[in-house]
Structure 1
Amino acid sequence: MLRKIAAAALGIGLLASPAAAQVELGSGFSATGTVIGTTDYVFRNISQTRSRPAIQGSVELSHEIGLYVGAFASNVTFPNTNARQEVDGIVGYRRTIDSFTFDISGVYYGYPGYTAQPGQYEIAFAEAILKLKYELDPVTFVGTAAWSPDYFGSSGNSVWLEAGIDWKTPVLDAVLSGRIGYQWIDNNARFGAPDYLAYSIYLTVPIRYGFSVGGGFYGTDISQSQCGGLKVCDNRFIAFASWTF
């Protein structure tokens, strides 16, 4: 049974939102937040909601020296479990030098209310993440590396590597983004899916007052039979709307 839920469950959403506006709080502190409505919640291109809509929210408190703390929440639906929400805690350090930005963080992916039944494993886990960004207007190059000592479902060591590009188009300041990544998992049998390739292309269009809309294509090279017979690993189109404050 865990093979069926493991392929569906992982943490923070992939959906892109525009650069966050910040509320200055004084003494070097600032805050920002985002609310997203999406037709599907995917993480590393695997659905967390069994191809159903999700409402998500995130907040971040940062200081001008680069330190920040944040949180993310979303509804989830994992087969054969009572997990219905995800709440993540984030702490990190971000610094920009000229056109280059690096971001080192630790994330704890929590699922309040989840109770492991006989034969199930703990689904909460933690990751260390490094994000790099280089801006060469109108193009931004991005990269992510993530490592967990004990991934979802107690599936052991995992490594995620991703590279991508964002192009700010001359039309409506829309951003066209492409991503390609690869996920390695130590215990594939317990995780419920093989190591896999993930790829996506999506468009984000800012409107005004912090609102944006967008959508795109998200896929993996995992077949349905390799995903426990579920459709959560299938290729899919997703639409989303966000408000940043």
Structure 2
Amino acid sequence: MFMSVRGAFAATLLASSAIAATPAFADEADAPSEVTVTGNVALTSDYRFRGVSLSGGDLAVQGGITVSHKSGFYASIWSSSLHSSEVDVDGDGVGDGSVYGDQELDLIGGWTGEVTSGLTLDAGLLYYVYPSGKIGDANYWEPYASISGQVGPAKLKLGLAYDWKQKGLLDNNGSKSDNLYVYGNVDVAIPNTPVTVSGHLGYTDGVLSPCYYCTGTRTFNDKTGIDYSIGASMTLFGPLSASISYVGVSGVSVDSYTDDTVVGTLTASF
């Protein structure tokens, strides 16, 4: 997937020689590819999903690949390491495994493009998979859509995701349940610097709300919640970038789960 500097240099020389020798093919060689492949790998201090830690407050390794067509259609795969608590199913005081296991795998398909001047739509279907989960079936589907546009120096984005009732989303009574998530993002690039300042605000209504599973607290069974973050990101050099954010959620604060925290991430893109 990666090419060495020497290999890239040799390939460039070879391509340049071929174009120079056959100028009739120059336009064809310069034509943009119909399909592009991009990806990234990242190390983050805490994997926060809509404000809630899925890595137990620990480091997480993440990465993904996206294949995009010039028509706007794309397919992606993304993964992150997890740290989820074991569940005592038989009541013997010994953990029998965890619902999510130690890995999340997201399979994504969608379309993005400008639907009117200055407004971009991104819509698709996401499938959350937890291949090492041992308790029940935690996998679930999530259709999503967002609209984004530029307003002065700010890029604004509004989006929603809705998970219909399915076996991967069980309420505290063991019944299939659903979940609605709506959010807004704002990103402002600081002129003449590599820094972008970002803000996020999200609202959840359903079994994925921040403190629905906070057992032993007064907010147990609370199916609504808010998550928020504010931070900054910057390009360091080449494909390497870094970000830092303050992340929080409404409701009770559970250490390494729903407590406010600062998250730092180092990302290499290709």
Partner of 2:201: 180
Q: Report deviation, 1:210.
A: 1.5
Asked if residue 150 in structure 1 is aligned to residue 156 in structure 2, the reply is: no
Tell me the distance in 1 between the aligned counterparts of 2:165 and 2:82.
Answer: 21
**Equivalent of 2:186, from 161, 165, 168?**
165
Partner of 1:9: none
Q: Report deviation, 1:161.
A: 0.5
Query: Mind listing any 5+ residue stretches in structure 1 that lack a counterpart?
Result: 1-23
Asked if residue 204 in structure 1 is aligned to residue 233 in structure 2, the reply is: yes
Structure 1 pair 31–108 and aligned structure 2 pair: CA distance change class (3 A) = same
Contact 2:156 2:186 in 1 (8 A): yes
**Equivalent of 1:93, from 91, 111, 132?**
111
Structure 1 pair 153–25 and aligned structure 2 pair: CA distance change class (3 A) = farther
Tell me the distance in 2 between the aligned counterparts of 1:137 and 1:59.
Answer: 31
Runs of 4+ in structure 1 over 4 Å off: 24-27
Structure 1 pair 187–200 and aligned structure 2 pair: CA distance change class (3 A) = closer
Contact 2:169 2:178 in 1 (8 A): no
Q: Report deviation, 1:34.
A: 1.0
Query: Mind listing any 5+ residue stretches in structure 2 that lack a counterpart?
Result: 1-29, 87-96, 172-176, 215-221
Give the letter aligned to residue 133 of structure 1.
S
Between 1:52-61 and 1:88-97, the stretch displaced more is 88-97
| Bigger relative contact order (CA 8 A; separation at least 6) | 1
**What TM-score does the superposition give when structure 2 sets the normalisation length?**
0.73
Contact 1:130 1:145 in 2 (8 A): yes
Q: Report deviation, 1:191.
A: 4.9
User: What do you get for the CA RMSD once the two structures are aligned?
Assistant: 2.2
Report the secondary structure of 1:207's partner residue.
strand
Partner of 1:3: none
Partner of 2:53: 47
Tell me the distance in 2 between the aligned counterparts of 1:115 and 1:124.
Answer: 12
Contact 2:169 2:207 in 1 (8 A): no
Contact 2:170 2:207 in 1 (8 A): no
Tell me the distance in 2 between the aligned counterparts of 1:186 and 1:234.
Answer: 18
Q: Report deviation, 1:231.
A: 3.7
Q: Report deviation, 1:99.
A: 2.3
Tell me the distance in 1 between the aligned counterparts of 2:208 and 2:190.
Answer: 42
Partner of 1:234: 259
